[in-house]
Structure 1
Amino acid sequence: MDLMINKASALSGKARVPGDKSISHRALILGAIAEGETHISGFLPSVDCLSTLNCLLLLGVKIERLSSTELVIKGVGLRGLKEAKNVLDLGNSGTTMRIMSGMLAGQNFSSTLTGDDSLKRRPMGRVIKPLRLMGANICAEDEGDRAPIKITGQPLKGIIYKTPVPSAQVKSCVLLAGLLANGKTCVIEEIKSRDHTERLLKHMGVDIEISGNEVCVRGGSRPKAVKIEIPGDFSSASFLIVAAILTEKSDIIIKDVGINATRTGLLSVLTEMGANINILNEKTIYEEPRADIWVKSSKLKALTVGGELIPRLVDELPIFAVAATQASGTTIVKDAKELRIKETDRIRAICSELRKLGAEIDEFEDGFAIHGPCKLKGNICSSFGDHRMAMALAVAGMCAEGATIIKDSECIEVSFPGFEEILKSLVKGKNT
């Protein structure tokens, strides 16, 4: 499916984005191994999250769908999962594969996890290594680094593990395995990654210790069923935020968005660049902070982004690159080599597709430099099957003269169902 975007004259009004993708995955998984019935509202019914849901159904978990965004999980406890009759196909969801590996490694049955061609290219050695240190029997294709992954569940032992790269998925994998292990398991990060798993574990009564960038759990600590209200996904909101900043005479409010500090690096960067962004109605519900985000069109100035800030905005770097094309001066992104092993090589994709639209951009091994402001002109662009690339290019198209066509835009359903309709609801003048 192709998505055609025309230049927008202004954005105005209020909008809500779908529920947070990261929290939706984790709420499902932790609800499945909890004791009792966990009630989830604000669930993201995207392709990736439904992969997690379907995987749990195959493992014997009963899930009642009250609506597309509200469900009840009838938890089976830490060791109540059942062996799936078939291979667990996780589609495009790397989050599901990495986190589920930790949960399955300590069960008393065997599992095989696979996915689509894109997922099979993504590195899994980063979870296989710590799980093996815990005593897991786990192996993978391509010299032990690619799916499909075969896991033979067996007893695990607690470890202290320092992650070589900040990764919430790796951290979550090891912590879930730690609940099934003997003794204490600790994960230490040089730079703190997103902490939704820790917040949910605390909310569910798990014995968890958090000290700076170190998180520890004790084996046998059992999650208890709770109510979970998922806020809007900040990563999804980021596309609307940048669209409003770059479109003249824009004034929008995005309601009830998660503003967890481990996720909102983009807000800090855009504000430093001169963006007119205000946070309204802040509150915390079930351990997760949320607020309304008020955005007005703004003039941006360039800056350099790298180091400890990268884990806080790694998923937003494609849309940040679009913002940088309209900033005055040279914007540099460095220390972001992690982008090369996402759904696609996002550094290469950002550079190749923004050049098609007229951006002046240099590619580095760990990032890129954009010389702005750039006058963008519509063209035919590839999403590379990557949901965040497709949406970033759609926002770029709103700033470009003429029509922009994004190929294979159906991938947007991975994280933001309804994206095009929400954009249309905000646009005044020419519609997308």
Structure 2
Amino acid sequence: MAEVRLNYKKPTLHGNITVPGDKSISHRSIMFGSIAEGRTTVSGFLLGDDCLSTIDCFRKLGVEIELDGTNVEINSNGMGNWKEPIDVLYTGNSGTTTRLMLGLLAGSKIHSILNGDASIGKRPMKRVITPLREMGAQITGRMDGQYTPLAIKGSPLSAIEYTMPVASAQVKSAILLAGLQAEGNTIIHEKDVSRDHTERMLRQFGAEVIVEDGTVSYKGGQTLQATHVDVPGDISSAAFFLVAGAMAEDSEITLHNVGLNPTRTGIIDVLTAMGANMEIIVDNEEAAEPTGTIMIRTSDLEGVQINGDLIPRLIDEIPIIALLATKANGTTVIRDAAELKVKETDRITAVVDELKKLGANIEATDDGMIIHGGSELQGASLKTYGDHRIGMMGAIASLVSNGAVELDDPDCIAVSYPTFFEDIQKIIK
């Protein structure tokens, strides 16, 4: 799709949506199914570009993976039987694929090269490579391995005890996946708890993992057992419609099968603190990943402070939260979010610049932003920066703006939500 012009003229929003599968869990389902011996099945898989990049990488390693809509079948002979790839393992725009595969490949028996698109080439890899090298990994690359492309020569690994300098599920997961092949007990200490999908899936595939007081530990050499993974709807995708329902006039949206992992529900906490008219019914609290139904209605919202240990639980939702804050009463302050600068783009700068074009009263800070609410948003031509979350923020802004909103690269949204514009149309009344 070329540049798109959205002119919805402030509609009311009503209806039901089932958002696509969780991106983080979809990635990991392919990875764990490829590690385990036997037949793993996956339902609800996200058919986004990022997750398809993960499938492509493992096919190049010799793993048999079949897609049937959102169902996936993975047949693997186990990690020890992966084949050395002839081609570069291309990870596209996916930071999760790139960083987690570094952990997996570090202790393998093969030599491989990882590379991604231009955006991945700018994202920091040293934060992953430093602990992996402490474990004995042999990884080389541009600027001493700070950036892709990266070459990995599989080698024997030793477990480490590591304190995370920043909250990052990708870094934590890379260490845990390397620890599967390491000798000894891998121990990771987190100051602020990051999303825990890897720990949950390790257990689901039969590994023994201990999580206690911000510390994750487990013994290397454990064998994973093939199983079935049911991927819930992605709360990061649901967040865009939660915000739309809260902002748009005379609206009510119901979202089904939304993942409610406590390490991901910061957006729910913020909406609650702002006074959103919202109801949540937990459907399956005891599952590997809890799910629920969320109903959101037009709300009278108040500005809030967002900082500290809440940030890792909503880091991907900050762009859409910033848009929400423009319609709240009072001021919203977001702090401790410097991690936004090293996402698909510098999301602090991108969010502030694009919302200003719409007429928002917003300013950037070193580690976040300050949004003064009560803005009457206008139409504008927006840049997506090739970042799916900035693109979706702009599209949702068009629902509450006085004029048309133009997006320069709507195709980038397919990374995490291929049916995004179709779902918007479903609820416009």
What is the TM-score normalised by the length of structure 1? 0.97
In structure 1, the residue matched to 2:419 is: 418
| Matched-pair contact (CA < 8 Å) for 2:10–2:402 | no
* Residue deviations 1:213-270 (CA, integer Å, cap 9, x gap): 1111211101101111100000000001000100011011101000101001011011
- Partners of 1:229 and 1:286 within 8 A in 2: no
| Aligned position for 2:19 | 17
Q: Which residue of 2 aligns with 1:32?
A: 34
**What CA distance in whole angstroms lies between the structure 2 residues aligned with 1:178 and 1:76?**
20
| Residue 94 (structure 1) aligned with residue 129 (structure 2) | no
Distance in 2, Cα, partners of 1:272 & 1:198? 29
Give the drift of 1:64.
1.8
Cα deviation, residue 76, structure 1: 2.4
* 1:203–1:286 Cα contact (<8 Å) kept: no
Task: Identify the residue that residue 150 of structure 1 maps to in structure 2.
Answer: 151
**Cα offsets for 1:101-132 (capped at 9, x unmatched):** 00000011111100111100000001100000
**Which aligned pairs between 1:24-423 and structure 2 lie closer than 5 A?**
24-65=26-67, 67-284=68-285, 286-423=287-424
Distance 1:81 1:351 in 2: 45
CA deviation profile, 1:317-338 (whole Å, cap 9, x unmatched): 0000000000111111000000
Give the share of equivalent positions with the same residue, in percent. 47
User: Residue 362 of structure 1: CA displacement?
Assistant: 1.0
Q: CA deviation at 1:281?
A: 4.2
Which has the higher mean CA deviation after the structures are superposed, 78-87 or 398-407?
A: 78-87
Maintained 8 Å contact 1:128/1:139: no
Matched residues in 2 for 1:233 and 1:356: separation?
Answer: 29
* Structure 1 Cα separation of the partners of residues 207 and 282 of structure 2: 30
Q: CA deviation at 1:187?
A: 1.3
One-letter identity of the residue aligned with 2:250: K
Give the Cα separation in 2 of the matches to 1:196 and 1:394. Answer: 29
Deviation at 1:183, TM superposition (A): 0.8
Shift of 1:285: 6.2
Shift of 1:30: 0.6
Contact 1:141–1:147 (Cα < 8 Å) also in 2: yes
Q: Distance in 2 between matches of 1:360 and 1:274?
A: 21
The size of the alignment, in residue pairs, is: 427
Q: Distance in 2 between matches of 1:133 and 1:195?
A: 23
Looking at structure 2, the residues matched to 322 and 209 of structure 1 have their Cα atoms a distance apart, in angstroms, of: 39
Query: Is 1:234–1:259's contact at 8 Å kept on the other side of the alignment?
Result: yes
Structure 2 letter corresponding to 1:32:
S
Please state whether the residue corresponding to 2:13 is helix, strand or coil: strand
Question: 1 CA distance for matches of 2:274 and 2:286?
Answer: 30
**Distance (Å, rounded) in 1 between the aligned partners of 2:292 and 2:10:** 26
Structure 1 residue 212 displacement after superposition: 2.3
TM-score normalised to structure 2 length: 0.98
> For 2:167, what is the secondary structure of its paired residue?
coil
Q: Distance in 2 between matches of 1:341 and 1:72?
A: 34
- More off after superposition, 295-304 vs 142-151: 142-151
Instruction: Compute the displacement of 1:402 (Å).
Output: 1.1
Q: Take 1:315 and 1:41, find their aligned partners in 2: how far apart are those partners? A: 24
* Residue aligned with 2:278, SS: strand
- Between the aligned partners of 1:364 and 1:81, the Cα distance in structure 2 is 46
Q: What SS does the aligned partner of 2:261 have?
A: coil
- Structure 2 residues without counterparts, runs of 5 or longer: none
- Worse overlay, 102-111 or 5-14: 5-14
Q: Is 282-291 or 77-86 further displaced after alignment?
A: 282-291
- Which stretch of structure 1 is more off in the superposition, 274-283 or 115-124? 274-283
Contact 1:87 / 1:114 at 8 angstroms: preserved in 2? yes
Pairwise CA distance, 1:284: 3.5
The whole-number CA distance in structure 1 between the counterparts of 2:311 and 2:101 is 25
| 1:182 aligned partner, one-letter code | E
RMSD over aligned CA atoms reads 0.9
Q: Which runs of 5+ in 1 are unaligned?
A: none
Q: CA deviation at 1:210?
A: 1.2
Q: Which amino acid aligns with 1:229?
A: D
Q: Distance in 1 between matches of 2:287 and 2:146?
A: 36
Distance 2:117 2:164 in 1: 26
CA contact (8 A) 2:12 2:248 kept: yes
**Aligned partner letter, 1:216:** S
**What is the rounded CA distance, in whole Å, between the counterparts of 1:45 and 1:362 in structure 2?**
36
Shift of 1:286: 4.1
